[in-house]
Structure 1
Amino acid sequence: MRWLCKICSFESKKRLELLKHYRLKHGNGGRSQSIPCLHTDCPCSFKTFNALQTHLCRHHVEMVTQSGPLSFTCLLCCSVFFDSEKQYFEHLGRHLRKFEAVACVFKNCNFSTNIYSTFATHRHRKHQSHRLEDFKTEVLKRQPYEPMFAQDETCEESSELWDGEPQELSQDIKEKFGLLFLKLESKFNVPNKCIDEIVDELQFISTSASGPLLRDVVVSTLNNHNCDLDPAIILDLVKNICETHPISAALGTSGPFTTSFKRREFMKKHFSVVEPEEHILDKKEGKTFQYVPILPSLLQVLSKFFQENTFEGENKAKNDFKYQTFRDGSHYQKNKFFSVENRVTLILYIDDFEVCNPLGTSRKKHKVTAVYWVLGNIPVQLRSTLTSIYLAILCKAEDTKQFGFQRVLEPLLIDIQSLEKDGLFVPVLGKAIKGTVVSVVADNLGAHSVAGFVESFAGSYVCRFCVGERSKFQSDEVRSGSFHQRTKDQHTLHVQAALSSPHHTPCYGVKKQCPLSEKLEHFHVTSGYPPDVLHDLLEGIVPVELALAFDNLIKKKYFSLIELNDAISNFPYKGSDKTNRPHLIPANFLTRKTVGGNAHENWCLLRLLPLIIGLKVPEQEPVWQMLMTLKDIVDLVMSPVHTEESICYLDSIISEHRSRFLDVFPQHKLIPKHHFLEHYPQLIREFGPLAALWTMRFEAKHSFFKRVVRHTGCFRNILLSLANKHQLMVAYHQSHGAKPSLAVTKTTEVSLDMLKDDLKDLVKCRFPAVTAVHVANNVCSLGTNYAVGMLLCCGSTAGLPDFSEVLQIMVICNKLTFFVRQQNTWYNEHLRSYELENTGIVQLLEQRELKDFYPLALYTLAGRRLTTLKHHICLSF
């Protein structure tokens, strides 16, 4: 039998040898990498080597007996568990808490109840002292277990720990130490002085402290074998062992880890650290910024994704029916530069952030301008991971304001110019490929600063998408044609007019040239700055309108502020809603004119608001209808897929919401973000789904630098410290293999004979050759968590989505498969939710068959089973 490493190409005849290889090469674990199980038929993966060893001991013990593990099976839903009576009764308790009738599981007992406490009392009184043989035969069964290894083969495996060339093992140990120190410095932010202490102590332990112990071991071993050696020879032997031990060699005075400088040189050589470069802005005043060269970083990224076959470089014609990525947008389709195969698309992000407490004495003193980039040629799910977002520039915000973006972005734009004209040679492909920037993602202030528009939103021309006056936002809609979209030729004239005026007076909101449009041949300001739904909607329109609506509804005495906060606090949030649960509404929300909260909290509050307080508000309440149209807008804008029908519906619902808002709040003026929102339908046609180009995940990247400052407390050259730490972190993640698309930490292998007949028939029909399946309660696929009890969208009927409740999650032939119960669906317009009813029909679904990848939570409200969408589901597939 051959054992093959799932991370690299290592192959072995022995399982223990593969285990040793895992320990040396892939045993570090961490969030960037999951260590897969050694067995090819097991889908589990683990973050640490110890977790892998525990799993192997529990589920893959090398046995020679023919008796296999015992398995408990639930007679209600086919959920099967091995070797865990406690887990089995906990599962039955979940049925009882739903008031489902459960029969006693012990022989010769016909007791049945649907009350949890009654079942527990019966079990305690009647079956407190029981054995495994007392369970009913249909509940507890034993499977045959085939031996995996012969006994003599198992006995020989221990000798393989000593196999391998000494030089190779010594180098592996050095690399392991290097990876450990890299992890300590980059992931846990351990100071170099602390690492120096660790190295000194390990060196002392491996030499001086271990000498007497080794001498006793050597003497005892020689005595056991009747060998008599001169004590001087024994001391010399022990001394040589201590000095030549791989740990001593790695950590000794001549080793590569004794100083921070030596460690950094070792990391550069073995882990491909791309070092930041310091660029001088003002030598006299000592003003500089850090730039991480994008071309060597891009080369590493491209080599990685080409090897993993996740690079999407094929140019395809626009799909007439769907907008799924920015490649389907008209801006990308009309750019002739991207008509060639394997063009690199870069997405830049520019923003300012505080590395210190924004309310403390250091407020704005260490405010930093950051420029990140992400490769647009990889799937959206991969682009959202923080490890796929790379650093380009760090500069003090005050220096950026003083010297301008043109000066700060200069080294980056020079490299991208080279990428446009000459390309970058990729050894994996054996040729050079070209690329350029396709979009610059930023909030409105950041986008206007870089693009050269006015940075005040109180002036006459505040929109970067059209040349309309702000005074007309209240009276005219974008769909009426009153606001003409900006064009390239028109923008060029506006730049010339602004620069040629005596005092550089802005012309139609344009005050200077965009440095990217000036330097890059295939990028233009009018097609390169998409809107940001995070700041426009979730942190802009939504909290403002929620505050106005709550004030109005409270004054109408539908509920009080205390009742509202109690409802928000006591709502039974599930899944990701529990993580993003909204905060309580502050008492001064009307004075502040906003409910506050971050984007995730506001999104969750708006989504679940119908379930939280919907029954307290009359159906025809105008303010409530205004809020529900806003919820519809957010659902549509957040959709990962659009069609012409959904875009036209978004256009109409935005117009409806505008009319309703002005009707119920005539004294309040529309803010500029309301006008930006009216451009969204056309912008989706130009940029593709806007949720794929928002700033949410980029802003999450700031947390890394804030954490570094909080742990190190070093402000001497803060930009250099942050850039160095980031590049070490990137090198650490690059040294690991790809994160598996399917991550499972705990599964149970179940024979088909143990499944209920309906499930068994479905599995046999779809997978005829399968004799066993892997059952799990939770799995993670491409960053999305699935759990038993969630709802999945698996089709549509009469324009309504069809939902199914997950009864069991299985991995069959390395495919994520769901055993589900279909639901009848009705739409409740007042609550903007779907009411569900069990049909009793079960089916088997693979993940690829889902109409929407995102699972939904099931809530119970006044005896009704309801769910609300996370985003609009495009059903015209």
Structure 2
Amino acid sequence: MYKDCTYKTNVYVNFKSHKHRRHSGASDFKPGIVENKILNSGSESFRSISCDISDDEHVDPAIDSDPVNLEKEIELKLALVLLKLENIYLVSNRATDELLQELSYLIGLSLPITQKTLTEILQEHSCEFDQSIVEKLANALCESNAIKKALGHKGPLSTAWRRKSYFKRHFNVVEPVEFVLDPKEKKTFQYVSILKSLQQILECQTVLDQARNLNDTYELNQPTEQNGAFFKENDFLCQQKSISLILYVDDFEICNPLGTSRRKHKICGIYWVRGNLPPLYHSSLSSIYLAALIKSDDLKSFGYENVLKPLINDLVILEQSGIFVSKLGRTVKGRVQCVVADNLGAHSIAGFVENFTGSHVCRFCTAETVQIQTTEVNSGCFCLRTKEIHEEHLRQLQDNGLANYYGVKKQCTLSKHLSYFDVTSGFPPDIVRDLFEGIVPFELSLCLSVYGPDNNEHMRTICG
């Protein structure tokens, strides 16, 4: 990947070692390896999610002549660095406090050096001076240091509590809201407003430049990375300048030393990412945002209909009214493109049966389990679910009072309230669980069972 370098390897450790020995700090990549984009290092990414200073109001410390503005800018920059330490590099508050105390102490140690420098300059210019005045001047210079004032005693960034208060005052922090499910049992869940988060994110010009189908300069007929058939055939996404959202639902276990499947402290997390972004940003953690956290037991007891109510209310507003983006000078609407979840989560939200040992267990087709096990997919025997077929199944379910019909148990929570969400196309398969944790290890185990220890030649071929 470097110019005039012929080294090749498929092992990351070897590449890392070669890069450290031969190309440490080098940036002479071959053409086409790196895509150059104009991005402000560090601060712009933070401004896109939290900072209330717009790009036009940003003050460059190198050219600013107002000491007051310069001091505030330094304080803000320092706050952004500390925010990056705590939220990106996951440095604990205790470690950050100790680091800042030591830094403040080191700044205080520079007082004798400052006195010596002032004395030498005055002597060099043959100025008469009183040493006590030099000491006072040096002390004033050290105390007026913007970093020392921010980190010193009672400084706005000196403790974790003060830093948190500073972030709330100066950054547009979207805080979670607690919703009560059962006041008697004290059953609650946390929700972070999607509308408020989008409002802050779309105030960043860098985000708008990356977004597809939002800018006025974007042409629908130009080649784009959004080349999927679903995107091209969707009138709402193609004909309107709109926001596309992809929801992700998954359970995870916390605080349980007994194992990951004990369900003692299992929590369901709902996340979202903007579908308008180029693919290379989809898996970036900085592009994924939290929407809600609910205990899995509470979700099972109260159902998605009750738990998703604040989320659905925001999505309905986004779909019907939209949000005003000041950078674009207009209102932008949005819709849910799809929901990514494992089979159990997808069936729960979509209203399909959650028992995968029944006769109809597939949310993509109406084939029976026996057909799935014995018939090839390309045989033409599988009838894919469509919007019309699903509506007919719901009608049969309601008219006849059945528990389920062709695997349909109830109406989808999202399609019930959202006009542009289709249950038959809104729950794509999850590549991680269906392939990487599903069929791929199963197929590999079959291959290894055939090319087992008895056939060493084949094993050496497989294992390299």
State TM-score, norm by structure 1.
0.42
Identity %: 43
The match for 1:537 among 420, 435, 447 is: 435
Partner of 2:363: 464
- Runs of 4+ in structure 1 off by over 6 angstroms are 42-49, 160-163, 499-502
The structure-2 alpha-carbon separation of the partners of 1:500 and 1:266, relative to structure 1 and needing over 3 Å to count, comes to: farther
Verify: 1:364 aligned to 2:263, yes or no: yes
The match for 1:175 among 68, 72, 76 is: 76
Query: In 1, distance between residues paired with 2:284 and 2:192?
Result: 20
Partner of 1:399: 298
The match for 1:352 among 247, 251, 269 is: 251
Which structure 2 segments of 5+ residues have no match?
Answer: 1-24, 29-33, 42-60
Partner of 1:410: 309
Verify: 1:194 aligned to 2:95, yes or no: yes
Deviation at 1:180, TM superposition (A): 1.9
The match for 2:122 among 222, 225, 234 is: 222
Verify: 1:247 aligned to 2:147, yes or no: yes
Paired positions, count? 411
The structure-2 alpha-carbon separation of the partners of 1:376 and 1:536, relative to structure 1 and needing over 3 Å to count, comes to: same
Query: In 2, distance between residues paired with 1:455 and 1:215?
Result: 75
Deviation at 1:356, TM superposition (A): 5.3
The structure-2 alpha-carbon separation of the partners of 1:459 and 1:366, relative to structure 1 and needing over 3 Å to count, comes to: same
Partner of 2:172: 272
Tell me if the contact between 2:232 and 2:238 (Cα under 8 Å) persists in the aligned partners: no
Deviation at 1:412, TM superposition (A): 1.3
Q: Name the aligned partner's letter for residue 297 of structure 1.
A: S
Query: In 2, distance between residues paired with 1:44 and 1:345?
Result: 25
Query: In 2, distance between residues paired with 1:426 and 1:161?
Result: 31
Q: Name the aligned partner's letter for residue 193 of structure 2.
A: P
The match for 1:383 among 282, 306, 325 is: 282
Which has more radius of gyration?
A: 1
Query: In 2, distance between residues paired with 1:43 and 1:494?
Result: 49
Tell me if the contact between 1:306 and 1:428 (Cα under 8 Å) persists in the aligned partners: no
Query: In 2, distance between residues paired with 1:565 and 1:553?
Result: 6
The match for 1:516 among 404, 407, 414 is: 414
Q: Name the aligned partner's letter for residue 409 of structure 2.
A: K
Q: What secondary structure sits across from 1:194 in the alignment?
A: helix
Query: In 2, distance between residues paired with 1:248 and 1:367?
Result: 44
The structure-2 alpha-carbon separation of the partners of 1:45 and 1:520, relative to structure 1 and needing over 3 Å to count, comes to: closer
Tell me if the contact between 2:249 and 2:269 (Cα under 8 Å) persists in the aligned partners: yes
The structure-2 alpha-carbon separation of the partners of 1:499 and 1:364, relative to structure 1 and needing over 3 Å to count, comes to: farther
Tell me if the contact between 1:315 and 1:339 (Cα under 8 Å) persists in the aligned partners: no
The structure-2 alpha-carbon separation of the partners of 1:373 and 1:429, relative to structure 1 and needing over 3 Å to count, comes to: same
Q: Name the aligned partner's letter for residue 236 of structure 1.
A: K
Tell me if the contact between 2:253 and 2:266 (Cα under 8 Å) persists in the aligned partners: yes
Tell me if the contact between 1:312 and 1:379 (Cα under 8 Å) persists in the aligned partners: no
Deviation at 1:546, TM superposition (A): 2.9
State TM-score, norm by structure 2.
0.76
Query: In 1, distance between residues paired with 2:355 and 2:220?
Result: 40
Q: What secondary structure sits across from 1:369 in the alignment?
A: strand
The match for 1:427 among 326, 334, 342 is: 326
Partner of 2:426: 528
Q: What secondary structure sits across from 1:368 in the alignment?
A: strand
Tell me if the contact between 1:499 and 1:511 (Cα under 8 Å) persists in the aligned partners: no
Tell me if the contact between 2:452 and 2:459 (Cα under 8 Å) persists in the aligned partners: no
CA distances 1:497-516 after superposition (whole Å, capped 9, x unpaired): 556777x7222212222110
Query: In 2, distance between residues paired with 1:543 and 1:432?
Result: 47
Say which is worse superposed, 457-466 or 377-386, in terms of deviation: 377-386
Query: In 2, distance between residues paired with 1:211 and 1:458?
Result: 76
Q: Name the aligned partner's letter for residue 172 of structure 1.
A: E
Query: In 2, distance between residues paired with 1:45 and 1:341?
Result: 26
Partner of 2:195: 295
Q: What secondary structure sits across from 1:526 in the alignment?
A: coil
Q: What secondary structure sits across from 1:525 in the alignment?
A: coil
Q: What secondary structure sits across from 1:198 in the alignment?
A: helix
CA distances 1:40-83 after superposition (whole Å, capped 9, x unpaired): xx99999999xxxxxxxxxxxxxxxxxxxxxxxxxxxxxxxxxx
Tell me if the contact between 1:356 and 1:362 (Cα under 8 Å) persists in the aligned partners: no
Query: In 2, distance between residues paired with 1:566 and 1:47?
Result: 47
The structure-2 alpha-carbon separation of the partners of 1:326 and 1:391, relative to structure 1 and needing over 3 Å to count, comes to: farther
Q: What secondary structure sits across from 2:373 in the alignment?
A: coil
Deviation at 1:203, TM superposition (A): 3.1
CA distances 1:769-825 after superposition (whole Å, capped 9, x unpaired): xxxxxxxxxxxxxxxxxxxxxxxxxxxxxxxxxxxxxxxxxxxxxxxxxxxxxxxxx
Partner of 2:3: none
Q: Name the aligned partner's letter for residue 419 of structure 2.
A: E
Deviation at 1:161, TM superposition (A): 7.8
Which structure 1 segments of 5+ residues have no match?
Answer: 1-33, 50-159, 572-877
Q: Name the aligned partner's letter for residue 408 of structure 1.
A: V
Partner of 2:403: 505
Q: Name the aligned partner's letter for residue 175 of structure 1.
A: L
Q: What secondary structure sits across from 2:324 in the alignment?
A: strand
Tell me if the contact between 1:438 and 1:528 (Cα under 8 Å) persists in the aligned partners: yes
